[in-house]
Amino acid sequence: MGLIQEIKKRLSPPSTPSGYSAAGMVVREPFAGAWQRNMELSPDDLLNHPAVFACTSLISNTVAKMAINLHERKDGVWTKVENHPSFSPVLKKPNRFETRQQFISRWVLSLLHHGNTYVIKRRDRRSIVVEMYVLDPRRVRPLISESGEVFYELQVDDLATVHKTITVPASEIIHDRVNCIHPLVGISPLVAAALPVLQSRKIMDNSVSFFANSARPGGVLTAVGSVADSTVEQLRSYWVENYSGHNSGKVAVLADGLTFQAIPQATHGDSQVLEQLGWTSTTVCSIMGVPPHMIGIGEKQSNANVLALDQLFYSTCVGHKVEAIEALLDEGLRLPSFLRTEFDLEAIHRLDPLAQMEWLDRSKGKLTINEQRRVLNLPPIEGGESVYLQHQDYSVAALSRRDNGPDPFGNSAATNDNDTLSSEAVDKYFKTIDKLGKIKDAVRRK
């Protein structure tokens, strides 16, 4: 029996996790009643927002710039493996059309945009994973059998070598997900950004309309006597066609007692549009876990604050995603217990030379000189395989022996030194004195 037939037999019938949309995540209503007013938002609407685009790009690019290394455990220490014949190739080149950076960037973007990332694995005859493809999450649906086993229905995705709708077991899919209400369904953080983005869009749409009219408010045409309805419509159409939009600012000629009176409106400065747009962007940053200054929003930060905020970004926003990808790759590639994947965090330190040098300076006593030089991409030097410490540092054992002595602080050196001499040392001392005396007498007799 083939794999597909076996899967269909075991799914009787398959059920879809509650709350899951096969068409992908769609934020239909940022608030109650938005759908009836044609104000629903799609993922594309959210991604068009400058702050959303900047935050998602920053996070994905930050994770993607770190290399993925394979580490092996030897004598209790994890050391980097330069090249492993079975696992290193797929980590360096995940598939035929993407580099490692592009692959990881798409992985993180799918997670941020849709709350789910699906990666299908391709194996060779040894059952070793040789290719990985990030799938379109809108074409993937998790399935649960009556026995609780998990499968995934994949729709056609020619780029990922899925040429027809198939169902595969969970062992062939790497599924990364965040904000899970259902164990198999992730929720994008962009869901929380729907209302701020909608407000920002309305502000920007109004600004476009306002400035398309040369920042001139509307007004009222008045006549001395009564005007027929047909004439009103003709006047309104004529005025809009000739003196609004691209034609605003032209000289208007009024006859038959017509007058134009502009309607006073608040200017953009009075309505604090920039402050409102800044609020929506800052809110998006807080949802995505990105310090606003990293995408050019807010007040300029001092150097000390920038370093602290950057470290917070790396440890909270980026750190969780890095740890999750490492764990999923370890499980998805079925690495043995003595192997694991690790992102190269040195790529982050290299962005700040001062922080890198401070980190290396604090590693004194833990790293050898050559290990420190390797971080700086410098060749090893002679004598650089030793760990150095300052002279005033003593071992705990030496301090213990000193403290257990009769005078730990050495206040009475002469008395204590004599008291601590052994009897053999005293005898040897006096024998030496006696011998020197005999030599001195012999010299005098001559």
pLDDT tens string 168-177: 999 999 999 9
For residue 225, pLDDT beyond 90: no
- Among 154, 133, 273, 270, smallest CA distance to 203 is for 273
The mean pLDDT of 143-156, rounded to a whole number, is: 92
pLDDT of res. 415: 45
| The predicted structure's pLDDT at residue 313 | 85
DSSP structure class, residue 411: S
Q: Which residue has the tokens 């059998």?
A: 145
Q: Does 406 or 192 have the greater pLDDT score?
A: 192
Q: Which residue has the higher pLDDT, 278 or 156?
A: 156
pLDDT of residue 416: 47
Q: Which amino acid is at 107?
A: W
Answer with the residue of higher pLDDT: 445 or 146: 146
92: which 2 tokens? 């360096």
Angle, helices 319-332/100-114, rounded to nearest 10 degrees: 110
At 422 the three-state DSSP class reads: coil
Rounded Cα distance between 312 and 59, Å, is 13
Q: How large is the average pLDDT for residues 386-415?
A: 69
Taking 90 as the threshold, does the pLDDT of residue 321 lie above it?
Answer: yes
Dist. CA 124–CA 383, nearest whole Å: 46
- Residue-wise over 204-238: b if at least 16 C-beta within 10 A, else e? beeeeebeebeeeeeeebeeeeeeeeeeeeeeeee
* Mean pLDDT of all residues in 404-428: 61
The least confident of 39-43, 169-173, 197-201 is 39-43
Q: For residue 125, how far is the Cα from the chain centroid?
A: 35
- Lookup: tokens for 98: 């993407």
Answer for the pair 293, 308: CB distance below 8 angstroms, yes or no: no
The pLDDT confidence band at residue 215, using thresholds 50, 70 and 90, is very low
**Averaged pLDDT for residues 8-12:** 46
Does pLDDT of 19 surpass 50?
no
Question: At 132, is the pLDDT very low, low, confident or very high (cuts 50, 70, 90)?
Answer: very high
Higher pLDDT, 33 or 363: 363
Please give the pLDDT value at position 340. 94
Q: Identity (one letter) of the amino acid at 440?
A: K
Confidence of residue 21 (pLDDT cuts 50, 70, 90): very low
Residue type, 367: L
Measured between alpha carbons, how far is 115 from 191 in angstroms, rounded to an integer? 10
Q: Hey, how many other C-beta atoms are within 10 angstroms of the C-beta on 289?
A: 16
169 prior amide bond cis, ω within 30: no
Between 258 and 143, where is the model more confident? 143
Instruction: Indicate the pLDDT class of residue 361, thresholds 50, 70 and 90.
Output: confident
- In single-letter form, the type of residue at position 142 comes to P
Check: CB of residue 379 under 8 Å from CB of residue 373: yes
In this prediction, residues 15-35 reach a mean pLDDT of 52
Closest Cα to residue 70, out of 50, 86, 46? 86
Q: What is the three-class DSSP state of 343?
A: strand
Look at residue 385 and give its three-state secondary structure.
Answer: coil
More confident residue, 416 or 187: 187
Tokens of 188: 């994008």
Dihedrals phi, psi of 52, to nearest 5 degrees: -65, -45
Among residues 6, 324, 326, 15, the alpha carbon closest in space to that of 169 is found at: 6
Say what the pLDDT of residue 258 is. Answer: 66
With a cut of 70, say whether residue 220 has pLDDT above it: no
Q: 173-182, 301-310, 380-389: lowest mean pLDDT where? A: 301-310
**Residue 143: its pLDDT value, please?**
93
Q: With bands split at pLDDT 50, 70 and 90, how would you rate the model's confidence at 25?
A: very low
Q: What is the DSSP letter of 302?
A: P
Residue 48's SS3 state is coil
For the stretch 232-249, pLDDT in tens is: 677 677 766 766 655 555
The more confident residue out of 399 and 384 is: 384
Contacts of 49 (CB under 8 A, 6+ apart): 193, 197, 200, 201, 280, 284
Neighbours of 129 (CB within 10 A): 23
195: enclosing H helix or E strand: helix 194-212
- pLDDT of 121 > 60? The answer is yes
- d(CA 107, CA 117) in angstroms, rounded, equals 6
* pLDDT at residue 12, rounded to an integer: 44
Burial zone of 267 (CB within 10 Å; 0-12 exposed, 13-18 middle, 19+ buried): exposed
110 and 103 in contact (C-beta within 8 Å)? no
- The Cα angle at residue 336 between residues 330 and 342, in degrees rounded to 5: 40
Mean pLDDT on 7-28: 49
Cα→Cα distances 446→176, 440, 443, Å:
100, 10, 5
Model confidence band, residue 154 (pLDDT cutoffs 50, 70, 90):
very high
Q: Which of 112-121, 218-227, 436-445 is predicted least confidently?
A: 218-227
Model confidence at 224: pLDDT above 50: yes
More confident residue, 12 or 313: 313
Given a cut of 60, whether residue 22 has pLDDT beyond it is no
Report field, pTM of the whole predicted structure over 0.85: no
Tell me what pLDDT residue 414 has: 45
pLDDT of res. 23: 39
